[in-house]
Structure 1
């Protein structure tokens, strides 16, 4: 019998999740060292255009296309997936839908239940898996009141402030 090569998304779910977390940490470190991701003064996500903008104290901005993974409610400790989120436009749910498909394939309730009780760290894991499945460029966790938006983003364009 011939050995069948497996693609990463077909790996053991726990191993895939661990690799996704490690990959996200590497992406985040690279963004931090190259364009100071994590040091932004403000951020804004436009759900009509699907663009996230990070603004820095020196006037530099970084922009990227976005997809919403879901929102984490800090009050009740629940995560609401974007694939069925009433505030997220259909066009910005594609990456979350990949996570749902992966969850269905591996029978993972956390990925196929619309709203789940979890920790913020669990929400990071869901976002990391989504990021990897979508081959995205990173994840941002943006605070909005008592909610935390977990967002994947694409290629980043930097506009440096004029001296």
Structure 2
């Protein structure tokens, strides 16, 4: 399996580890350039396929979004975006790429609809989806006290609020 940037190593765990490192570097770049880590609010418009961030200086950031999946802290589960009842198919492309990666490498945690998962593994899922989809970043948004949404996003557009 290949992506836009690299050939996947024979050992999928190496690919996953490299993906996590790439995600960390991308996150650091977003935090340094437009202050992703200081976002006061976030929202997703599923009809437009956009994630929006409100930053403390009155700036707004927006980007195309994909939903990798959701976690539920009540039962410690991750529900993949590729078979999530709340995720439109057009917002699950990166999740589908991760599913195909899992199927190709015999990784049931990528190809089973719902899996036991902690935050560390959810970040791995997001990192792999980001890399496979050629996204520019990842984001975990708190949707409720017990639910988080794991997303990838594309090129960021900044505007004055």
Instruction: Give yes or no for TM over 0.5.
Output: yes
Question: For residues 7 and 160 of structure 2, what CA distance do their matches in structure 1 show?
Answer: 37
Give the SS at the match of 1:116.
strand
Deviation at 1:150, TM superposition (A): 0.4
Aligned to 2:3: none
Aligned to 2:147: 147
Question: For residues 89 and 106 of structure 1, what CA distance do their matches in structure 2 show?
Answer: 26
Aligned to 1:61: 60
Deviation at 1:118, TM superposition (A): 1.4
Question: For residues 160 and 88 of structure 2, what CA distance do their matches in structure 1 show?
Answer: 30
Which structure 2 segments of 5+ residues have no match?
Answer: 1-5
Give the SS at the match of 2:82.
helix
Aligned to 1:158: 158
Q: What value does the CA root-mean-square deviation take over the aligned residues?
A: 1.0
Deviation at 1:9, TM superposition (A): 2.6
Aligned to 1:89: 88
Q: Say which one has the larger Rg.
A: 1
Give the SS at the match of 2:26.
helix
Deviation at 1:8, TM superposition (A): 2.5
Aligned to 1:70: 69
Aligned to 1:30: 29
Deviation at 1:10, TM superposition (A): 4.6
Give the SS at the match of 1:122.
helix
**Pairing 1:44–2:43 present:** yes
Superposition TM-score, scaled by structure 2 size: 0.93
Aligned to 2:111: 112
Superposition TM-score, scaled by structure 1 size: 0.92
